[in-house]
Structure 1
Amino acid sequence: MTFTETALKGAWIIDLQRIDDERGFFARSFCQDEFTARGLKTAVAQCNVSFNLKRGTLRGMHFQLSPKAEAKLVRCTRGAIYDVIIDLRPESATYCQWRAVELTADNRRALYIPEGFAHGFQTLADDSELFYQMFEFFAPECAAGVRWDDPAFGIDWPLPDPIMSEKDRGYAPFLKNGRGVWS
């Protein structure tokens, strides 16, 4: 695996190192030793699949509050997505900054998202599927989100008029008097 840290400290793009032959290829997609060497979480608590029927579907921006803040490893196993993360760690030099990575079934790239980040994505193809390795259990009482279109972040989504749930559309604006609403 090749690890490339993003401009948001603690978030990593992970590319496969393929061993190709006439049958196809083999590659590791997770290695506890390599994750530990970079200070990343390794104890997987649960795995999730998100299947999305239509191009333009937008899910996010989700995270869990302490004490159940979650790190996750996301990979697109079918189709293509525009995967977005926002650094919500107030002590971070990149607080309120966002980055996007295109994850596709073809590029087989993964994104490691640390605790304290909001995460969401927009599908770039019909029938897109994501596989999540979660490093904390889902805790409904800690589940939270920020608006996908909040000017506090200025995310540049690739497709207009996203298909979304009412819950995701209904998150409150992030900033109130210059502070995060949960601060």
Structure 2
Amino acid sequence: MKFVRTEICDLILCEPIIFSDKRGYFFESFNKENFENYLGKKINFCQDNESKSAFGVLRGLHFQKPPFAQSKLVRVVYGKVLDVVVDLREDSITFGKVLSFELNDENKKQLFIPRGLAHGFIVLSEEAIFSYKVDNYYAPQYEDGLIYNDDILGIDWKINSRDIKVSEKDKKNMTMRNIYKFKGELYD
């Protein structure tokens, strides 16, 4: 696995080494020891999640507030998505920065998203299966979200806006003007 630092502190692009031949392929999708050695700290993934979505479905931009903030390791099992993160850590030099990555079933890239970042994705293929590990349990009373079409962020979701399908819940997410800001309380 090759780990690539990004423009946002602690946001890491993970590029697996894929072994292919006429029979198919093999790759190691996660190795706790190698991952922790690269991070320089322990990670305790405690829950795996998976979703299936059709073209244009946008899920996000989600996060959980402390004490249930979550780091995530995300990947696409089938299809193609545009994965987007926004830094909400008030003391970060990249506060408010947006980065996006194409994750798909061919490149097998993964993204490690540290606590304090909002995360979302939109499906660019006919359908996609999205899988992710989290290091803290889901706690609905601590969940929050950043609106996908915030004018301050100006995110290009790579498809026509009329094709974007957002849940009623995500349509009510906050803007950057009034969003929760993480203040250093991300880890115990």
Per the normalisation by structure 1, the TM-score is 0.92
Deviation for aligned residue 1:172: 2.5
Deviation for aligned residue 1:73: 0.6
Deviation for aligned residue 1:77: 0.6
Q: Kindly indicate whether residue 173 of structure 2 is the aligned counterpart of residue 163 of structure 1.
A: no
Deviation for aligned residue 1:118: 0.3
Q: How many residues are aligned here?
A: 179
Residue 131 of structure 2 corresponds to 131
The answer to whether the 8 A contact 2:12-2:112 is kept is yes
1:147-173 deviations in Å (ceiling 9; x for gaps)? 101122221111122111011111132
Give, as a single letter, the amino acid of the residue that structure 2 aligns with 1:144: D
CA distance in 2, matches of 1:96, 1:18: 34
Alpha-carbon distance change, 115 to 41 in structure 1, aligned in 2, over 3 angstroms? farther
CA distance in 2, matches of 1:119, 1:78: 19
Partner SS for 2:165: coil
Computed over aligned residues only, the root mean square deviation of the Cα atoms, in angstroms, reads 1.6
Residue 47 of structure 2 corresponds to 46
Deviation for aligned residue 1:181: 4.8
Alpha-carbon distance change, 100 to 182 in structure 1, aligned in 2, over 3 angstroms? closer
- % same residue: 34
Per the normalisation by structure 2, the TM-score is 0.89
Residue 143 of structure 2 corresponds to 143
CA distance in 2, matches of 1:51, 1:147: 21
Give, as a single letter, the amino acid of the residue that structure 2 aligns with 1:154: G
Worse-matched range after superposition: 7-16 or 23-32 = 23-32
The answer to whether the 8 A contact 1:79-1:104 is kept is yes
1:88-138 deviations in Å (ceiling 9; x for gaps)? 000100000110000001111111100000000110012211011111100
Q: 1:29-40 alignment to 2 at 5 Å?
A: 29-39=29-39
Residue 16 of structure 1 corresponds to 16
Give, as a single letter, the amino acid of the residue that structure 2 aligns with 1:131: S
Partner SS for 2:45: coil
